[in-house]
Amino acid sequence: MYLTDNEKAMLNGDFGEIVQKCMKVLVTLGDIYGAEKMIEINNVHSPGVSYRVAGDAGLNYVKGASLQGCFRVPTTLNTIGIDSDNWEKIGFPKEFSLKQLELVDAYKKMGAFCTNTCTPYLVGNTPMFGEHISWGESSAIAYVNSVIGARTNREGGPSALAAGVTGRVPAYGYHLDENRKGKYLIELEVDLKTDRDYAVLGYYVGQRVGKDVPVFNGIKNRPTLENLKALSAALASSGAVALYHIEGVTPETLTGKVMADNFETFKFGSEEYRKVTEKFNYDGDVDIVVLGCPHCSIVEMKQIAEQLTDKKLKSDMWVCTSRQIKSLADIMGYTKIIERAGAEVVCDTCPILCPTLDKGYERVVTTSGKLAHYMPGLWNVKTALLQLEDCINAGIDGEWRRGI
Ligand code: F3S
């Protein structure tokens, strides 16, 4: 692989041991994927920050790195395993929580912004069109590649850390024009209105296309940010989609040809829609409602607060968001309303990465295609995938009845 003089110096250890180690990681990756050179990047969103995933090995590695080096480019952190302010109140185990805080602290020493969210694009890490970046977290990757048109591969903790320390990524995958073309054209035959509709679409298409690039045609109403957040998360979990295009909506469809020379076409109509909803069609008492996967936007916090005003929940409810969005929700009075109804507003963490939610719940409703996909296997629960309004009503009633 071609390396500039500066990159060779990094590899030779001229900038210290951790920079050398990181450059070795990137060169090895580049060799594996046939990269011809490195690309300079402008920012990183780092996964692997949850102690549940990183464990002691990850903690020790980052602590060691923090003694020797720091991030060269702005770096935000993905979700962690606890609510860092309220871990005792919510009931996160002490030993786990302290290790988690140590891990975040090590990243902070390296210069990372402790955003602790899977929606960094809502809290200041908003790359520009065409910018090369290094991001982890599957839903955020699909969002930033597709909706913003920045360029990242699906990075893990070690490669994102290496990219942050060196400011480089090997030039392969979604950094290159030729890998950003659509392999599947999906003709929409249903009108999409709610986040749930987009989650259902994403779930179906992710299963069909795996890790290839889908292109959607025929979406009539302009999707909202929340719609696209839901679509990105579902595509990236039932499949491994890191990039999609929507004709007339996402930027690459406005700036050039997005279909590959050879592609397959399939439709998404009411039958395809039904196949997904039938899969997550639990009907009965509800133990917990989980909202905010990916983390809630301020618009979602407002919707939840409006619907919960002067209401009491019969089921448990978790509303997951970032600390930055919660601060705004506090100012707007939304947090108080949501908590008064009996819900927990949980920051920093993720229902899947935290050790608290797998504690005996059997019946879960959610708006999230990603959670609906992972929860049954992880927690052995029955799941309903509903639109936000229905999720909240199910929490208020303590049950979900289809067709009522
Ligand atoms: Fe975010 Fe966790 Fe969902 S990282 S997208 S809340 S599974």
Q: Which two tokens stand for residue 91?
A: 């009931």
Does residue 199 line the site of ligand 1, with CB under 6 A? no
Tell me the CA–centroid distance for residue 255 and ligand 1, in Å: 31
Over the stretch 237-278, which tens digit does the pLDDT of each residue have?
A: 999 999 999 999 999 999 889 999 999 999 999 999 999 999
Tell me the CA–centroid distance for residue 118 and ligand 1, in Å: 6
> Of 208, 281, 187, 197, which Cα lies nearest the Cα of 231?
197
What letter does residue 177 receive in the DSSP assignment?
G
pLDDT tops 60 at residue 354: yes
Distance CA 29, CA 43 (A): 19
pLDDT, average across residues 384-399: 97
Over the stretch 167-179, which tens digit does the pLDDT of each residue have?
A: 999 999 999 999 9
pLDDT at 358: 67
What single-letter amino acid sits at 396? I
Q: Which atom of ligand 1 is nearest to the CA of 79?
A: 4
Over the stretch 203-234, which tens digit does the pLDDT of each residue have?
A: 999 999 999 999 999 999 999 999 999 999 99
pLDDT at 404: 46
Cβ count near 12 (within 10 Å): 11
State the pTM of this model. 0.96
Tell me the CA–centroid distance for residue 14 and ligand 1, in Å: 39
Distance CA 50, CA 79 (A): 7
> CA 229, 83, 298: angle at the middle one, nearest 5?
35
Q: Which atom of ligand 1 is nearest to the CA of 119?
A: 1
Reported as half-sphere exposure (CB side, CA atoms, 13 A), residue 19 has a value of 18
Over the stretch 293-351, which tens digit does the pLDDT of each residue have?
A: 999 999 999 999 999 999 999 999 999 999 999 999 999 999 999 999 999 999 999 98
Over the stretch 12-70, which tens digit does the pLDDT of each residue have?
A: 999 999 999 999 999 999 999 999 999 999 999 999 999 999 999 999 999 999 998 89
Confidence band, pLDDT 50/70/90 cuts, at residue 150? very high
The answer to whether the CB of 226 falls within 8 A of the CB of 299 is yes
With residue 346 as reference, give the H or E element that holds it.
strand 344-347
Cβ count near 248 (within 10 Å): 12
Percent of all residues in the chain with a pLDDT value above 70, rounded to a whole number: 98
Does residue 233 line the site of ligand 1, with CB under 6 A? yes
What domains can you pick out in the chain, each with its CATH number?
Answer: 5-172 (3.30.499.10), 181-276 (no CATH), 280-400 (3.30.499.10)
Cβ count near 359 (within 10 Å): 9
pLDDT at 403: 61
pLDDT tops 90 at residue 78: yes
Q: Which two tokens stand for residue 210?
A: 């795996």
Over the stretch 285-307, which tens digit does the pLDDT of each residue have?
A: 999 999 999 999 999 999 999 99
The answer to whether the CB of 402 falls within 8 A of the CB of 283 is yes
pLDDT tops 60 at residue 390: yes
Does residue 370 line the site of ligand 1, with CB under 6 A? yes
Does residue 293 line the site of ligand 1, with CB under 6 A? yes
Tell me the CA–centroid distance for residue 233 and ligand 1, in Å: 8
pLDDT, average across residues 384-401: 96
Q: Which two tokens stand for residue 203?
A: 């779930």
- The beta-carbon contacts of 263-266 under 8 Å, at least 24 apart in sequence, are 263/182, 263/183, 263/184, 263/185, 263/215, 264/183, 264/184, 264/185, 265/184, 265/185, 265/186, 265/187, 266/184, 266/185, 266/186, 266/187, 266/208
With residue 229 as reference, give the H or E element that holds it.
helix 225-238
pLDDT at 377: 85
Tell me the CA–centroid distance for residue 308 and ligand 1, in Å: 23
> Of 154, 180, 360, 358, which Cα lies nearest the Cα of 371?
358
pLDDT at 356: 66
On the question of a cis peptide bond just before residue 294, with omega within 30 degrees of 0, the verdict is yes
Distance CA 194, CA 189 (A): 15
C-alpha gyration radius of the chain = 21
Cβ burial, residue 247 (10 Å; 0-12/13-18/19+)? middle
pLDDT tops 80 at residue 117: yes
pLDDT at 355: 67
pLDDT at 380: 85
Residue identifier of the C-alpha nearest atom 2 of ligand 1? 350
Over the stretch 183-199, which tens digit does the pLDDT of each residue have?
A: 999 999 999 999 999 99
- Please name every residue paired with 289 in a beta bridge, in sequence order, or none if there are none: 317, 365
